[in-house]
Each structure stands twice: as structure tokens, then as C-alpha cells.
């Protein structure tokens, strides 16, 4: 007699994901300060982050600056600030960060579990403005010719 057992896990296509873009539309993310951006408020609804989901973040608010510190948070609840809810900083394949460029990055849920995601990004500060060149006076004290 042959017995076959079925176990859940990422086999075949039961763990296929999708790709979503975030930040193209008004209200998708916000600046908390000149250099600090968040995908959603800590006390609001977080982004759906189902198994194998890839989020492409287009962070127009930081312009052409590169993200320097990227902190992804995950929760089993959409709004984890409520009583009894919780969240944690994501690590490993819970939030795989890649393709970090000026004003853009990718975060992937590399697991077969469904979560909700919040991302906080600290961008490189804007460079200080270039100094204005000082033009030397070409001789205000000289007398006119003969």
C-alpha cells in the first residue's frame, strides 16, 4: 500500500506572487521631514503584502536622492496600532530589498505567508547650495585716462 501525504508549502504555483507599483499616485506615501518618508502612517492602514508580492516604490518626494536607510515593518494585521495588534521590523526573506536607486526601490515578500507592510526611508540629505562666486572689483579707485 502506498500512502501519499499533502503538505502545505511553496510547491508548484501555489505561491506565485505579483508586482505592484506604489508612489505614482497622489497620497501614496508622505514625507515626515525633508529627508524622512513613510509608505503609510504607523497608526493607519498598511499595504497588503501577500506571499511573493513585489512592491516597486517610486518615492517622488525624495527627488533624485538615494535612500540611505530603509526600514520595512510587517504585521499580520492591516492596522497594527490597535489593541492586541503588533508588528515587527522585517528581516531576511520577509522583506527582500533590492534595486535601490535615486527615488526608487523594490521590496519583496519572499515567503508564502501573507502580511501587511510599512516602509520608512531616510534619504540622503540635499546637498548644500553651491557658494555664489565673488567677483572682484576691477578698480574703482583708478582715475580715467588723459
* Domain range annotation of the chain: 19-123
pLDDT at 5: 45
pLDDT at 131: 82
Q: What is the pTM of this model?
A: 0.78
- From the CA atom positions of the chain, what is the Rg in Å? 25
Residue 102: pLDDT band (50, 70, 90) is very high
pLDDT(100) > 90 = yes
Which is more confidently placed, 12 or 73? Answer: 73
Amino acid at each position: 500500500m502506498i500512502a501519499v501525504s499533502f503538505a502545505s508549502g511553496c510547491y508548484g504555483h501555489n505561491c506565485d506572487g505579483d508586482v505592484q507599483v506604489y508612489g505614482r499616485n497622489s497620497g501614496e506615501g508622505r514625507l515626515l521631514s525633508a529627508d524622512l518618508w513613510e509608505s503609510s502612517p504607523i497608526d493607519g492602514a498598511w499595504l497588503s503584502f501577500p506571499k511573493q508580492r513585489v512592491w516597486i516604490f517610486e518615492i517622488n518626494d525624495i527627488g533624485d536622492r538615494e535612500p540611505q536607510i530603509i526600514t520595512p515593518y510587517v504585521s499580520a494585521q492591516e492596522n497594527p496600532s490597535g489593541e492586541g495588534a503588533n508588528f515587527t521590523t522585517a528581516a531576511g526573506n520577509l522583506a527582500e530589498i533590492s534595486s535601490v536607486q535615486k527615488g526608487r526601490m523594490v521590496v519583496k515578500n519572499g515567503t508564502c505567508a501573507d502580511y501587511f507592510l510599512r516602509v520608512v526611508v531616510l534619504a540622503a540629505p540635499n546637498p548644500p547650495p553651491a557658494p555664489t562666486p565673488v567677483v572682484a572689483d576691477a578698480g574703482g579707485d583708478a582715475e580715467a585716462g588723459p
